[in-house]
Structure 1
């Protein structure tokens, strides 16, 4: 399991592996927003939590199809399915590697991009905390969607359509946590809901993803 995680980690940080692609997309989106809505600081400050969370969500979405597709194409996924390691562990390791190479860099770069959107000072800690708690859910939900669409030609669009509705609760509570933090309001409820979603997703979806893989590999 550890070797599989390290292998996917190495593949993710190589050129074309999705590591730089997600960061570049996140940066471009945040830079373009002021051009589209205007540079008025108060307005940017008000929409910054939502923009940062939407950017992180879409950046995670870019590389989801690579979680299983490359292994499916070269036959590695068939070998993993019959290996003595549980397929649930394989899906969890791949989802975790996706988060480390995609979600974690977004968490680290978000404070810099928050400056570009004039994010209020009190909101920075809540933004980092909410992204750190919520982005693992994005990767594990994405792994489940990737397992459902593995082997399908041009399955990237279908994957996006399947996954985006499942991302909505994480987006709502993540952005609400940052917004409340920016306004000095209590953040306990949205933060608890965000943590609950992530814990439930991490605990349950590897089993669902493994079941989907078994069906698709028959």
Structure 2
């Protein structure tokens, strides 16, 4: 499992742009927002949590189609399916590799980019917490979407259309945690909901992803 994890991380760094692709897109979104809504500091402070969460979500979408597509193209997925490793464990490792190469760098960069949106001082801690809790769900859900579209040519657009509705609850509660934290309100309820979504996806979706892959590999 550990060898597979390091292999997927190396593949993500080479073929998918690794840390740079998602971070670059995240930076572009955050830089362009003030040009679109105006330079009013008060307005930027209000919308900063939602914009940062939306930017992180869209940045995660960029590399979803590469989670399984490269292994499908070179036949590695067939070899993994016949290996002693359980398919549920394989898709879990691939989701973890995606989070380490995409989600974790976004979590690290979010506070720095929050400066560009005039995020309030009290909001930084809860922005980091919400992203740490919520972004693993984005990777796990994305792996499920990648499993559904793995055999399709040019399935990137279809993958985005399938995954985006599933991302909405994570986006709502993640942005709400960051917003309430920035405004000094209690964040317990949305944070528990966000954690519940993440725990539920981690517990259930690897089995669904494995079942879909078994069907596609027949």
1:39 aligned counterpart, secondary structure: coil
Query: Aligned residue pairs: how many?
Result: 218
Give the corresponding residue for 1:156. 156
Structure 2 contact 16–63 (Cα < 8 Å) conserved: no
Give the corresponding residue for 2:75. 75
How far apart, in 1, do the equivalents of 2:22 and 2:11 lie?
Answer: 15
Q: TM-score, normalised by structure 2?
A: 0.98
Let me know the Cα RMSD of the aligned residues: 0.8
Give the corresponding residue for 1:61. 61
Structure 1 residue 14: deviation in Å?
A: 2.6
Identify which range, 26-35 or 6-15, moves more after superposition: 6-15
Give the corresponding residue for 1:113. 113
The verdict on how the C-alpha distance between 1:176 and 1:36 changes in structure 2, with shifts beyond 3 A counting, is: same
Structure 2 contact 177–190 (Cα < 8 Å) conserved: yes
Structure 1 residue 154: deviation in Å?
A: 1.0
1:127 and 2:127 aligned: yes
Structure 1 contact 173–190 (Cα < 8 Å) conserved: yes
Structure 1 residue 142: deviation in Å?
A: 0.1
Structure 1 residue 93: deviation in Å?
A: 0.1
1:50 and 2:41 aligned: no
How far apart, in 2, do the equivalents of 1:95 and 1:209 lie?
Answer: 11
Structure 1 residue 15: deviation in Å?
A: 5.8
Identify unmatched segments of 5+ residues in structure 2.
Answer: none
How far apart, in 1, do the equivalents of 2:74 and 2:134 lie?
Answer: 32
How far apart, in 1, do the equivalents of 2:139 and 2:16 lie?
Answer: 18
1:151-203 superposed Cα distances (whole Å, 9 cap, x missing partner) = 10110011000000000000000000011011111000000000010011011
Give the corresponding residue for 2:203. 203
How far apart, in 2, do the equivalents of 1:210 and 1:159 lie?
Answer: 17
1:195-214 superposed Cα distances (whole Å, 9 cap, x missing partner) = 01001101111110000100
Give the corresponding residue for 2:32. 32
Give the corresponding residue for 1:89. 89
1:111-165 superposed Cα distances (whole Å, 9 cap, x missing partner) = 0000000000000000000000000000000000000000101100110000000
